[in-house]
Structure 1
Amino acid sequence: MSQSIRNWFNWRGWAVLFSAIAIVLGLAAILSPAFRGFIGHATTAAWASAIATFLAAGIALFISGAESRRRQRDQVAMAALYAAYLAPKFERYCDDLDDIRAIAIFSKDEQTAMLQIREKLGSLKFDVTPEQVMHLVPLERHAAHRIAHGLATVEVACSDMKSMLEPMTTPAGYMRKLAEELSEATDHVTVATRTCKALAAKYAIPPTGAELSGHR
């Protein structure tokens, strides 16, 4: 079977085929008394009813599956749109968290480090909403859930620091705990950002030279 025939013989081809079979059977029933007797037999009617029910169920499952696949493709395309928009913001966010984490890990003066971290966390800008992150749920490797966990971890750390009336008198071991929390948050968001970039790259394709010059 050639490629052109295979391309034509999709669901339209099957519809034409079954329509032709139905027409032939109808003409045979009209023109042949024996065939009319066969069609009118109770056993034949029972088998025809069973086959029709089976075919109807099969068609319903096929349509349902096709609709489900279409919705899934639409959801992935929408997730790719948000991934293309949010991935650069996630990258900048991770860079800022890396700077803060480095202060928490490597600073020898804990009091100075605490003041620097509090200032940097307070000025940390990230205008991504939970509703936007929700659109990333179709992404692989649980990217949306990792991002949500990382963002929540940083929010809790910021809230804890703001609740301290005197940052110079932090509890023992707090700096180490803060470094671990920031490391966990950064790791979650970093890995998820790679997933966002990979999906966005499939849709947000850089324009070609022909497109930039105005040629299609």
Structure 2
Amino acid sequence: MEEYYKVIEHIYDFSVVTTSFPAIISLLRWRNFDLILKIFAVHTWKGAVISIGALFFYYQGLSNRPFYYIDTCLDIALVSIIASLIVRSRSFYITTFVLSAGFILIMCYDYLHDKTDKLINTQLTSLESIYVIVVTLILLRLVSLRNGTERYKKSLIWLLSALVISNLFSLLVSSLNEVVQAHSNELFRFLWYVSSPLIIILTNFILIFGYLLPPKRFGAS
């Protein structure tokens, strides 16, 4: 049984390494991007560096807890910046800034004061996922309306969709992990190593597709 787990763990490790693929593509396409796509590229680089870094620390027997907090804080900050650039509303900018800044402060406090052995506070990650999902769905709706019938050919649609999928999965995991672990740690371990590689590879494929589309500025027809 343990040999079986080693196999699926290696599959998971490979899926984490694939986060570098869209990061490399976005780097190669950097000169063709407008400001919004460049920030998306930074978001993708962040995901690749933190995911691979956390995996490296894990295999070195070092604590990778800081990676989870840094990733969550950068995620909400970068999504808020992208949202403010797309919506272009002062009130929306202020709202997203206050919410994201407040959340980051809470995350910093939790990191410094949480004395449990958990990698990260799942309640906080759930709130962050809900925030990102809601904001991203608003952006998807707005971008779709502005881009008309060609909306599915736009890079932004695919990149936003990848965000929704990854955060829906994160929300599902953070919502159910304690329930499943209370029933069986082995069951949670199995479900994690089977499902997470599929989601990671799927979202990376969507990101690659989005970055490879001919660049068009937001709102162009």
| TM-score normalized with structure 1 length | 0.36
| TM-score normalized with structure 2 length | 0.35
Name which one, 1 or 2, has greater alpha-carbon Rg. 1
Structure that is richer in helix per residue: 2
